[in-house]
Structure 1
């Protein structure tokens, strides 16, 4: 096992790449969380790389290409091999930022990748993954097209996002899947029943996004919400009305444990995800250097068996109020189908 400045590296699946134990998700630097500052975003990416972060997660639809170009600017002058670039594709959007479904047809995949490579300023992507399952295209057909891109050297590894156990098996039978990107946090533990055991059986890693539940369990979320209607979290059930108040009560339970550990709530929540297995790499969505520094501090936080028991007692599985997304978005999650 090799080490990084953040601790021992973790491997994304039995045949995937090695990465530092914490990765950086870039979505909020371009989209969905309200205005962001490009200069601060680039500085945050630089700080992450300097701290030892290697996995950088983006999507071609984050800001309709803006996020990829931001990453290109941040990597300019740096060694390409020092970064593991993970790109999600397939989401269709309109000029006003609306959503129009998912397209993972082979011809569309080739088109999406060509544009991503140009925007990123690179000749390959380390991990390429459809953002959601396309209900009109068999996953075997999508995987076959991606396997062809691996043979061409345009992508190094194939990942998936938000798919269930059965889909994971079908996809992996066509070509090895390096990792499944899926929401996993103290208040989003749905993968533990079927998806995580299946991934482990197949040798597929987990890149966990939403480890702070989009800021809800960061310890910084205001009880009244942000009031910013451009922030899509204002429209999510867990951030609304009585649900928000109930969920923030859970956060306060965590704060007492964090205080005893000399840590922040965010660090405690990230460290909990890190503790779930060496095949899990949490993605933190920091948009500023101070938040990044706080999040990366989780790598030094050691949780004892007593600590883990206290955390479980404070926030037991299923304790969160409200679903992860609204009903329309939940319908797109193959991972949530039972």
Structure 2
């Protein structure tokens, strides 16, 4: 697979979100299956793996996903770029707590879980309203200087906040919601990132599975720990309203003998040189299919066809890219 740059980090053009092995999509597979899936992804050319300290909250425990990923990549740790995320707790800044000590404590737990002595990319999972982003950026700079992390990033943020953080400690990457159905990043965020050598790491680049064409209005999501129940575009009425997009993608996919999901990824890879999507799945077949999207090269003509189709219609359902810990999508982790 071709590689791309997130700041100074070189990664495969398509990465892998690992959350689904611990949380968020109903019943999870066995640990053995998950580890095998991650290793198969590496064998297929993936060198960028994403996790977070809170993944595992519902079915297991915070840190579960980090432990699983750490076991999986241990044989080739030095050959991959590993990303995890910090979730600031109120105790990390209240009553005179030292923010550097608190954040470093979070990182040290993640390092232990991941069986490594450094993290390549350390994100702030969501902005905490009571902690200035400049203070977090300063701490991240100290962690970089100590060699504990190679770079840092933000998630679900707009341009102004990125600019404030970047002015304190250069940002490596931003992990935002971005897909054919959620294009807010194209307005201000992507131009700023391109101008400042910052990567964009889209999560949910296949719109929680909708763009694959495998979700219909008859699809029943799990009653236990399935975030798709809360995705606006996956309501029955919006699934029906957005069928035109699946038809458009399907016509292009047929031409390339590719899947809808692969075309969805190929579209964003052609559009921006600093974009590295991290589709997530708990199914080995889907994981390998998604990685194959990095090999599909759209012609200018077909790319234009997709762009014109997207610009001509409105997407039903919208989530947006600016979220905080206390006002976020899905569960409010800060109150758990």
Work out whether residues 21 and 28 of structure 2, in 8 Å CA contact, stay in contact via their aligned partners in 1: yes
TM-score (norm 2): 0.87
Check if 1:89 corresponds to 2:86. Answer: yes
The answer on 1:36 being equivalent to 2:34 is: no
1:301 matched to 2:271: no
**Equivalence for 1:234:** 229
Structure 2 unpaired stretches of 5+: 57-61, 91-96, 329-336
8 Å CA contact 1:226, 1:234 repeated in 2? no
**Range 178-187 or range 252-261, more displaced:** 252-261
Aligned twin of 1:336: none
Describe the superposition over 1:159-218 as per-residue Cα deviations: whole angstroms up to 9, x where unpaired.
Answer: 111111111111111111111111111111001111111111222111111110111111
Instruction: Indicate whether 1:272 and 2:267 are aligned.
Output: yes
SS in 2 for 1:81: helix
Give the aligned partner of residue 211 of structure 1.
205
Matched with 1:313 is: 308
Q: What corresponds to 1:19 in structure 2?
A: 11
Do structure 1's residue 79 and structure 2's residue 76 form an aligned pair?
Answer: yes
Q: 2:332 is matched with which residue?
A: none
- Aligned equivalent of 2:153: 159
Distance 1:187 1:220 in 2: 16
Aligned residue pair count: 316
- Give the Cα separation in 2 of the matches to 1:251 and 1:175: 41
Is 1:286 aligned to residue 305 of structure 2? no
1:131–1:160 contact (8 Å) kept in structure 2: yes
With over 3 angstroms needed to count, the CA separation of the structure-2 counterparts of 1:92 and 1:62, relative to structure 1, is: farther
What does the per-residue CA deviation read over 1:1-26, in whole Å, with 9 as the maximum and x for residues that have no partner?
xxxxx12x21102xx21111110011
On the 8 A contact 2:210/2:234 being kept in 1, the answer is yes
Contact 2:182–2:318 (CA under 8 A) maintained in structure 1:
no
> How many angstroms does 1:327 deviate by?
11
**Structure 1 stretches of 5 or more lacking a match?**
1-5, 94-102, 334-338
SS of the counterpart of 1:62? coil
Q: What do the CA deviations read for 1:79-127 (whole angstroms, capped 9, x no partner)? A: 321121101111669xxxxxxxxx9943431221111111111111111
Whole-Å separation in 2 of the counterparts to 1:250 and 1:330: 32
**Bigger share in strand:** 1
How far apart, CA to CA, are the structure 1 residues paired with 2:63 and 2:115? 12
**RMSD of the alignment, in Å?**
2.5
Name the CA distance, whole Å, in 1 between partners of 2:322 and 2:157.
Answer: 17
Deviation at 1:249, TM superposition (A): 3.8
Q: 2: distance between equivalents of 1:91 and 1:208?
A: 22
Asked if residue 261 in structure 1 is aligned to residue 256 in structure 2, the reply is yes
